[in-house]
Amino acid sequence: MEHIIKSLTPMALLVAGAVVFVLGTAFLLASDATLASSSLGASSDLAQAGRWLQFLGGACALGAVCAAGWELVLRSEWVAGAEIAAAALGTLLLVIGLLVSAASTGSSTEAVVTGAVGIGIWALLVLSRAARVSLAEQGPAHEAAQGAGTAVPGGQGGHGRQADLWLAAAIGLFVLAIGYGLSSAAGSRGPGIAAGVLEAAGVAALAGSVAVGRSRGLLRSRPVPAVLTGLALLAVSFLAAAIVAGLAFGTLTALGVSLVVVTAIELAGVAVLGVASWTQVRELYR
């Protein structure tokens, strides 16, 4: 991830992707707002436009990952390049899921499952980073313990530890992937509630790892507070979606109002993350 956020071109592509994705979410918000109107065709058209814009936003994110990987290849950093290649595969699956969803007017369950697999690949990538960081942190501690003739079971215990943060992020991504996959059956009350709760828990775990990293002094850049705010808003939107899935609505108006609230919170979260990306671009440009 650091190879992406520390390079100007990938971050600029991420900002562009965030802008387009926010625009697509705004179309979905408008679709939910017009759900109770007499013209359901207008709501459907707005939703379709929103899905295509979200696909374009995801394509920009894929371009950002590929641009970071190409820079590593040019510098002959093959290990980091292989890591980015795995990230590109996961992002590609997410983008394919968005494409299939747009092409099928949002009715394809395969699109959701494909996206969930993409998130799972990101989770495996973060888990591998957690394992490597854990080994690196334990190495010096074990060498010191052998020299002193004592045992140090916990490795390095200072505030600079990172392995537990990477592990928490990996768990969060795994939970998010499961919840995202369950959303393919969100038409049923039980799976819809479970999907929202799991997605909220996964994003909350990601936010928690970022917050702890900040408290340990590992993340001191200006975009971090905005990232935390954006992740918190996304977690709230998923939790709100779980609540909506568990309620029974007698009219389209009530359903539309509830969906507007959920989508508005999601829109705010993505917008704040976009602002964080723009802040990082400005930092890199300096």
Q: What are phi and psi of 2, to 5 degrees?
A: -65, -25
Number of folded domains that form the chain: 1
pLDDT over 90 (residue 99): yes
Whole-prediction pTM: 0.88
At residue 7, the 3 state secondary structure works out as: coil
pLDDT for the residue 148: 46
**How does DSSP assign 153-215, residue by residue?**
TT---STT--HHHHHHHHHHHHHHHHHHHHGGGTTSHHHHHHHHHHHHHHHHHHHHHHHHHHH
Can you read off the two tokens belonging to residue 95? 């983008």
Q: What is the DSSP letter of 66?
A: H
In angstroms, the CA 99 to CA 93 distance is: 10
pLDDT over 90 (residue 78): no
pLDDT for the residue 241: 92
pLDDT over 60 (residue 179): yes
- pLDDT tens sequence across 222-275: 899 999 999 999 999 999 999 998 886 666 777 788 889 999 999 999 999 999
Indicate the residue type of 142. H
CA distances from 275 to 31, 63, 260, 271 (A): 24, 19, 22, 6
Torsion, Cα of 285, 227, 94, 4 (10° steps)? 30
Can you read off the two tokens belonging to residue 85? 């290649």
Range of the domain at 258: 2-285
